[in-house]
């Protein structure tokens, strides 16, 4: 058998058996590296998909003043954009389902924590002030009003975009594609996917074979700063106002829909083992929790469905 080349991705590595027929193109969007791989004959479609990523950024970015979400967060009284409306509605559904452990109104806390630029945690009073403006129940719809909260779609927008791009490739008859939005992977065809080792993110700790699925990992190693020997990462528990601290290193969710996998990996990261019960509401969706001590917990049926190969086996 041919030796399989490795695609180095942000969170997940892929091994594919016919790389010589493939082409990968890259762009930077949503503050992350986007890689799209497909057959060489689909090169034009890859370029179109990368252009679409830039368009989606102008819808979902929380920080770009030209974006639709930015305008909503600044007080726009209507949800005019149908993509934005769809993702916000699903985000609210997830916030309800998780009783607020996942909450799309986390933005006031995301602003205060500003993980990308901070080198020390914010003060207690800043966190308490921000917490007062967090809560999906604050949003009203008729008429639409955020009532002092703000929306952050960082936990699910990439998944939604990956689904839309995948849909375009499928519609155009494409049979092989790897859509990688900073580790949010959506596949057309069968590939071996590697899950990063949170302790040494340049290495993989396990691989799984997936066909036509999406795989998304949320991990405390992805965005963080360290202060006085503590790690402060980007996934915040809306119940405390602090980065979650529950001995989980990463959560990988596999689902036919990337938006589901994306939202669920973040939600389960916050909720821990109790979050696995969420999977019942999503068809054909499974999860793997990797704890800081190296223990692995998988959802019921994961092991029967997927042949998880640990790297040290």
**Contact footprint for Mg ion (CB under 5 A):** 155, 262, 266
Could you tell which of Mg ion, ligand AMP, none binds residue 113, using a CB distance below 5 to 8 A set by kind? none
Interface mask toward ligand AMP for 238-257; x: CB under 6 A: x-------------------
Cβ proximity to ligand AMP, 46 vs 181, nearer residue: 181
Phi, psi of 60 (to 5 degrees): -100, -10
Could you tell which of ligand AMP, Mg ion, none binds residue 102, using a CB distance below 5 to 8 A set by kind? ligand AMP
Buried b (16+ CB within 10 A) or exposed e, 206-235: bbbebeebbbbbbbbbbebbeeeeeebbbb
Cβ at position 76, least distance to ligand AMP in Å: 20
Q: In this chain, which stretch among 76-84, 137-145, 190-198, 259-267 interacts with ligand AMP, using CB under 6 A?
A: 259-267
197 interacts with ligand AMP by CB under 6 A: no
57 interacts with ligand AMP by CB under 6 A: no
Cβ proximity to ligand AMP, 207 vs 265, nearer residue: 265
Q: In this chain, which stretch among 16-24, 47-55, 118-126, 233-241 interacts with ligand AMP, using CB under 6 A?
A: 233-241
200-211 vs 190-197, strand pairing mode? antiparallel
Instruction: Kindly report whether the peptide bond that precedes residue 161 is cis, defined as omega within 30 degrees of 0.
Output: no
270 interacts with ligand AMP by CB under 6 A: yes
Cβ at position 288, least distance to ligand AMP in Å: 15
Q: Any idea of the CA torsion for 201, 261, 108, 63, to the nearest 10 degrees? A: 80
154 interacts with ligand AMP by CB under 6 A: yes
The answer to whether 215 and 12 have CB atoms below 8 angstroms apart is: yes
Q: Kindly identify the residues of this chain, within the stretch 65-104, that bind ligand AMP according to CB under 6 A.
A: 102-104
Q: By Cβ distance, which residue is nearest to ligand AMP? A: 154
Task: Provide the 3-class DSSP secondary structure of residue 283.
Answer: coil
Cβ proximity to Mg ion, 91 vs 135, nearer residue: 91
> Judged by CB under 6 A, which of 35, 207, 214, 218 binds ligand AMP?
218
236-237 vs 242-243, strand pairing mode? antiparallel
CA distances from 25 to 19, 29, 33, 56, 129 (A): 13, 13, 10, 17, 43
Tell me which long-range contacts 131-135 makes (C-beta under 8 A, separation of at least 24): 131/238, 131/241, 133/105, 133/108, 134/103, 134/105, 134/106, 134/107, 134/108, 134/109, 134/238, 134/241, 135/100, 135/103, 135/105, 135/238
Could you tell which of Mg ion, ligand AMP, none binds residue 154, using a CB distance below 5 to 8 A set by kind? ligand AMP
Q: Kindly identify the residues of this chain, within the stretch 105-134, that bind ligand AMP according to CB under 6 A.
A: 106, 110
Longest pairwise C-alpha distance within the chain:
61
Phi, psi of 306 (to 5 degrees): -120, 135
Cβ proximity to ligand AMP, 7 vs 269, nearer residue: 269
The answer to whether 264 and 256 have CB atoms below 8 angstroms apart is: no
Cβ at position 263, least distance to Mg ion in Å: 6
Binding residues for ligand AMP, rule: CB under 6 A, are 102-104, 106, 110, 152, 154-155, 218, 222, 234-236, 238, 262, 265-266, 270
């Amino acid at each position: 058998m041919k030796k399989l080349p490795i695609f180095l991705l942000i969170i997940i590595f892929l091994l594919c058996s016919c790389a010589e027929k493939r082409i990968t193109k890259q762009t930077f969007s949503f503050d992350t590296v986007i890689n799209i791989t497909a057959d060489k004959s689909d090169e034009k479609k890859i370029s179109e998909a990368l252009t679409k990523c830039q368009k989606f950024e102008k819808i979902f970015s929380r920080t770009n003043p030209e974006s639709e979400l930015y305008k909503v967060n600044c007080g726009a009284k209507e949800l005019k954009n149908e993509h934005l409306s769809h993702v916000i509605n699903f985000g609210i559904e997830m916030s309800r389902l998780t009783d607020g452990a996942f909450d799309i109104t986390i933005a006031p806390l995301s602003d205060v924590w500003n993980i990308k630029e901070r080198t020390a945690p914010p003060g207690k009073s800043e966190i308490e002030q921000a917490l007062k403006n967090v809560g999906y129940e604050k949003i009203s719809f008729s008429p639409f009003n955020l009532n002092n909260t703000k929306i952050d779609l960082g936990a699910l927008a990439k998944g939604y975009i990956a689904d839309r791009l995948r849909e375009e490739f499928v519609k155009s008859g494409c049979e092989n594609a790897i859509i990688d939005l900073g580790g949010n992977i959506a596949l057309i065809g069968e590939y071996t996917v590697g899950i990063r080792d949170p302790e040494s993110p340049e290495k993989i700790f396990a691989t799984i074979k997936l066909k036509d699925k999406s795989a998304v990992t949320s991990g405390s190693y992805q965005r963080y700063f360290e202060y006085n020997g503590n790690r402060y990462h980007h996934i915040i528990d809306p119940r405390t106002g602090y980065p979650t601290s529950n001995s989980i290193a990463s959560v990988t969710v596999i689902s036919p829909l990337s938006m589901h996998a994306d939202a669920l990996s973040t939600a389960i990261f916050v909720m821990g083992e109790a979050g696995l019960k969420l999977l019942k509401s999503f068809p054909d969706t499974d999860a793997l929790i990797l704890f800081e001590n190296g223990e692995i917990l998988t959802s019921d049926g994961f092991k029967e469905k997927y042949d998880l190969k640990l790297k040290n086996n």
